[in-house]
Amino acid sequence: MSGIYLHIPFCKQACHYCDFHFSTSLKNKEALIEALKKEIVLRKNYLNTQYSILNTIYFGGGTPSLLTHKELMSIFETLHSNFEISKDAEVTLEANPDDLSKEKIKELKDSPVNRLSIGIQSFREKDLKFMNRAHNPQEAISSVKRAQDAGIGNISIDLIYGTPGMDDKAWKGNLENAFALNVPHISAYCLTVEEGTALHKFVKTGKVKNVNDEQGAAQLEILMEEAERNGLIQYEISNFCNEGMHSRHNSSYWEGKHYLGLGPSAHSFDGVSRQWNVSNNNSYIEGIEKGQPDLKKEVLTKEQQYNEYILTSLRRKEGTDLNYICERFGGEFGEHCKIEARPYSERGMLVVHKNNLVLSKAGKLIADKIASDLFLV
């Protein structure tokens, strides 16, 4: 089984930290949706027979909650006409709190969407203004409660920590608000300063203090402790859930499964190569209309495939499978991994469990550093 990701590149306003492809102009929204449906038809054979049944569908962005009910249903109609979709498929739609009116939630409940990922980011007005989010704290809370009241139980919320001006006490307050909502899934990410964003410009000009790595690490520790205390499983470094409520779609990325990405800037993976669409709405539409999608492709070497496996598997609760490395890539890859992992296991950063390398709590604080040291370059 496999998954499809659909990128909806429209937002009401630009968040200062975001480096995803999006547009705040909706003038070519209709044309883009038509192109998206044409791309579904053009690329329906990308996934091979083994991965021909869709197990997950994910609407990301951008802000997919800006789609009207009619637009959303027309996309689903095209998907159903061109793919076999599992009866129990996980269908996620990312949404902003300010879009989730009672009427909007009813429309989503009446659609194939069965999972909401709500971009709350913070329950503090100060943080939301710093990020240039379009909602306020009350909208964040009420949007979740409205969805729950409508019978949508599979809800994930996004939070951001490490924000300048948010001390540990404020972060704990954010977590208290999140746990009080009793959602089954929380994704939490440390703020990063990406080039080309408004935040990058603010930091560069001294208008805003840069992100403090020590603050981020301390708040990740708090997050892990509080999530465990509230009964959530940390199944990936940034993702926490109740038993059985993990994101099946995102887990497929970390497990190296095949997926098809549709829409401008969307990425696809077929096991040995990646390809990605142009990050420009007009160029994307023009290419699709000509029947020649504007995209680039990269065939991954065995070393690159190994590195990607290390990067994604090490972040998961199950860790990195040494047997799998030897079987898929060869014994020399497994030996390299063991040798490079040894200093971290001696320091208690990595634990060997059933021939898997698993990050300890201390190791999770420097996961990227450990992964890079296990890479083959």
Mean pLDDT of the chain: 96
* CATH 1.10.10.920 domain range(s) in the chain: 302-374
pLDDT > 90 fraction of the chain, expressed in percent and rounded? 95
Per-residue pLDDT tens over the stretch 61-70 = 999 999 999 9
Average pLDDT over residues 125-132: 96
Q: Which of 224, 205, 195, 264 is nearest to 36 (CA)?
A: 264
- pLDDT tens digits, one per residue of 197-235: 999 999 999 999 999 999 999 999 999 999 999 999 999
* Alpha-carbon gap, residue 19 to 32, rounded angstroms: 20
pLDDT number for residue 1: 64
pLDDT for position 294 = 96
Start-end of CATH 3.80.30.20 domains in the chain: 2-254
* Token pair for 339: 């040798």
Percent of the chain with pLDDT over 70: 99
**CB-count burial class (<10 Å; 0-12, 13-18, 19+) for 241:** buried
Size of the chain, expressed as the number of residues it contains: 377
The confidence score (pLDDT) of residue 52 equals 74
Q: Tell me the pLDDT tens digit for each residue of 321-353.
A: 999 999 999 999 999 999 999 999 999 999 998
Q: How far apart are CA 284 and CA 281, in angstroms?
A: 5
Interacting residues of 89 by C-beta distance below 8 A, sequence separation 6+: 54, 55, 56, 57
- pLDDT bucket at 49, cuts 50 / 70 / 90: low
Please list the helix, strand and coil fractions of the chain in percent, rounded to the nearest 5, in that order.
45, 25, 35
Q: What is the pLDDT of residues 69-114, one digit of tens each?
A: 999 999 999 999 999 999 999 999 999 999 999 999 999 999 999 9
Q: Span 279-285, mean pLDDT?
A: 97
Topology at the third CATH level for domain 2-254? pyruvate-formate lyase- activating enzyme (3.80.30)
What are the tens digits of pLDDT across the range 296-327? 999 999 999 999 999 999 999 999 999 999 99
Whole-number Cα distances in Å, 244 to 4, 168, 240:
21, 30, 11
Alpha helices in 99-163 (DSSP H): 102-109, 125-131, 137-149
Whether the per-residue pLDDT at 50 is higher than 80: the answer is no
Q: CATH code for 302-374?
A: 1.10.10.920
The string of pLDDT tens digits covering residues 158-171 is 999 999 999 999 99
pLDDT tens sequence across 243-262: 999 999 999 999 988 999 99
Write the CB contacts of 65 (distance below 8 Å, at least 6 apart in sequence). Answer: 93, 94, 95, 96, 99, 100, 104
